Structure formats: C-alpha cells, structure tokens
Amino acid sequence: MLTIGSHMSIAGGLAAAAENTAAMQAGTMQFFSRNPRGSSFKTPSPEEVLAFQRARQEHGLGPLLAHAPYTMNLASAREDVYSFACDVIREDTARMDALGIEYIVFHPGSHTGIGVEAGIENIIRGLDTALEADGNILILLETMSGKGTEIGSRFEELRAIRGGVRRPERVGVCLDTCHVFSAGYDIVHRLDDVLEEFDRVLGLPLLRTVHLNDSMTPFAARKDRHAPVGQGEIGLDALLGVLRHPALSSLPFFLETPFDDSGHAAEIRMIRERLAS
Ligand code: FE
Ligand code: FE
Ligand code: ZN
C-alpha cells in the first residue's frame, strides 16, 4: 500500500492540515516545525491538538514528518547562527515529539568555509543537545544536493554525523530524490547500485522517509531545484521505479514539488494511476 502525501501549510492549524491531507486523498503529510524563514512558532491550543489527533486517527494518516526551518545551520561556526540552530533542533524535536509526530527532518547544514570535518563536529554537538531528552521521535538527516558548502551530499558524511552522536539509535535518514540525483547518485540508470551503496555505507534500515521530487537541473549539477514529478531531468519512469522499488515501496513518500494543495492532489492521483497501470 502506497503511503504518499505532500508538504502542507499549517497556517490554518495542524488539524486543518490533516483534514486537507485526507481531502486530497493523501495518506500522510509533511509540515514545517516552525516558520521556515524565521524563528517564530505558534503553540497549538489543547483543543487544536485534540482535533489534530482525532483527524489523523479518523483518516488513518501514516507516519508524519516535520521539517525544521531552512534558516537553521547546525554546521555554522558563527556563534549566533549556531546557538540559534541548537535551540531550534532541541525545541522542535521536543515539541514535535509531544505531538506524536514520528519524524523530524533537517538539512545538516553548510560549513561556509570551516571545512566538512569541523562542520560535522558542530552538527554532532548540536544533535547531542537535542537528544539529551528521552523521546520517541526520530531525527532524520536529509540527503543534500551539495550546493555551495552544504554537508550531507555524500552518504559517508551522513554516516559520520550519525556515528558521532551519543544516541545514534535516535537518528535516521530522509532520501530526497532531487537532491541525490543532483549530488551525483544516478537513480535514473542505477537505482539498485545507489541503494546498495546506501546500504553499505549507512544501512537501509536507517532510511525512513523519501522526498519525492523531480529535478529542474541535470544529473550531478549540485543544484537544488525541485520540478514536478515527471517534468524534470529524473523523469516519470525513474520516479515510478523509486516508488516501486522493494526496498522503498513501504516507506512514506512526500512531494515537495512546486504546487499548491490542488496541484499536489492531482500529482498524487496521476502517480497512483501510473503505478496501477
Ligand atoms: Fe528539505
Ligand atoms: Fe527535501
Ligand atoms: Zn530541495
């Protein structure tokens, strides 16, 4: 059974987002854990939380995914940037866990000149503070395209991060199809090889969620430009191959394509039809 959803706005509240997800015939959703370009968040009222839990149960929504804001850079050597990132990952991991969200994903960060190793050290220290508190939520490292000084475009870098934290059992991986393609993992012609490499370096059980995006830019361009499924350089057949792959097909898939809710609903419909035919 395919579990697919899209990135949803929670401007109207979490409960409304869950209802919209069900109305779109989606089975799960991703949403920002706080304002993606700022730092603010609204604490939902107890009534709102209850309505959200009821909606998610009633519609049988699959594992839910919170996405940390883009403004957060846990690799940064700048003290203010770094301490903000540490606060965000610690607070949002706890807040999302309290809501019963299964996963929170974040972009490992950009080292902005201090080097991959020093950046990874910062990420590890920050993650350790977020993992001091007990909880059920898993923190997922997103596979990145490698633009600029971005960390996480090689599976080995994600392994170094996970391997360095005190509680690696609380850390998994979210594979973004646009990003890995852009980073030079050929999921179009060699999906089996890419997954074998993932398994060898990280272990496939660590892979928990997939961001299903096509790519506006060519293979190994190290850019991060999402295209609608089937309208980019990865193409529909390759993305259907990802959805069908036995190592992936039971995972939750999340669209981050440039559409609003009705566009995502149509995209999900198209994917279901193509998978069935
Ligand atoms: Fe992301
Ligand atoms: Fe993504
Ligand atoms: Zn992206």
Domains of the chain, by residue range, sit at: 3-276
The pTM (predicted TM-score) of the whole model is: 0.98
Low-confidence residues of the chain: pLDDT under 70: none
Q: From ligand 1's centre to the CA of 130, what distance in Å?
A: 19
pLDDT reported for residue 36: 86
Q: What pLDDT, on the 0 to 100 scale, is given for residue 1? A: 87
- Residue 226: its pLDDT value, please? 98
pLDDT of the residue at 17: 98
| Domain 3-276 belongs in CATH node 1.10.10.10 | no
Token pair recorded at residue 243: 């959805």
Cα 156–177–159 angle (5° rounding)? 15
pLDDT at position 263: 98
Q: How far is the CA of 32 from the centre of ligand 2 (A)?
A: 12
Q: How far is the CA of 225 from the centre of ligand 3 (A)?
A: 6
Query: Which three-class secondary structure string do you get for 233-248?
Result: CCCHHHHHHHHHCCCC
Ligand 2 mean position, distance from CA 175 (Å):
8
Supply the pLDDT for residue 42: 87
Distance 46 CA to ligand 3 centre (A): 33
Burial classification of residue 135, based on how many CB atoms lie within 10 Å of its CB (0-12 exposed, 13-18 middle, 19 or more buried): middle
